A and B are shown apart, each in its own frame.
Chain A
Amino acid sequence: DAKTTQPTSMDCAEGRAANLPCNHSTISGNEYVYWYRQIHSQGPQYIIHGLKNNETNEMASLIITEDRKSSTLILPHATLRDTAVYYCIVRVVTGNQFYFGTGTSLTVIP
């Protein structure tokens, strides 16, 4: 599975959009981009995933560049409860495991 690079930490003002970047320059054509988040000492929570096209659900939007070498997770209106560690993961569609890095620690500031 391709490796991902994320900033160690980010801050975002409450009510503003949080844009979390992820680089995955070695991604292959059969690899999906997944995003999970983990609130302190809880189990990781699935957010969204995509292959080529941009995706949106009730939690977030995922923007994948045309060359698929990077992506951005967008939380449209960040709340204090969005403070968490966000993991960007690239996974082979036939793979059976997720490779978590150290993620981005997002702090939403009042």
Chain B
Amino acid sequence: ETGVTQSPTHLIKTRGQQVTLRCSSQSGHNTVSWYQQALGQGPQFIFQYYREEENGRGNFPPRFSGLQFPNYSSELNVNALELDDSALYLCASSPGDRGRNEQYFGPGTRLTVT
């Protein structure tokens, strides 16, 4: 157990819909990173938030957006869902300066787009 929680556990959406995924970071961690993991692949970095500001972004389109709140919890929003967005979405929190330390992952949210 890392102390990082994510909700919901599983989600089914239809193509074109919008989805919001939530993450609560481990106590004392001010940095949250989001990853997408397609079946059979390693996690791919989406973006990172440090003290409520975006601190780096991977190769994902603008319809992937996020927020970090004053308590350091975070949301990942995906608009105009596509079939290829079906994946395990992982949130990771880390202490210290802009996530330069090891990251602790939550259990993930399994998103299925039909």
Contact = CB atoms under 8 A, between A and B. Distances in A.
Is chain B found bound to chain A in the same assembly?
A: yes
Interface of A: 34, 41-46, 49, 87, 93-103
Interface of B: 2, 4, 31, 33, 35, 40-45, 48, 50, 55-56, 58, 88, 90, 92, 98-100, 102-108, 110
Main SS at interface, chain A: loop
A102 B42 contact: yes
Given A41-B108, A45-B2, A102-B42, 17 more contacts: A41-B110, A42-B108, A43-B4, A43-B92, A43-B106, A43-B108, A44-B43, A45-B105, A46-B104, A96-B56, A96-B100, A97-B33, A97-B99, A99-B45, A100-B43, A101-B42, A102-B41
Contacts of B92: 43-44
A49 B105 CA distance: 16
A46 B100 CA distance: 14
Nearest to A36: B105
A97 B107 contact: no
B44 A100 contact: yes
Given A41-B88, A43-B106, A87-B42, A97 B56 contact: yes
Given A96-B55, A96-B100, A42 B107 contact: yes
Given A41-B88, A43-B105, A96 B43 contact: no
Contact of B45 (A45, A98, A102, A103): A98
Nearest to B46: A97
Contacts of B100: 93-96
A96 B102 CA distance: 10
B88 A97 contact: no
Nearest to B101: A49
Nearest to B4: A43
A43 B107 contact: yes
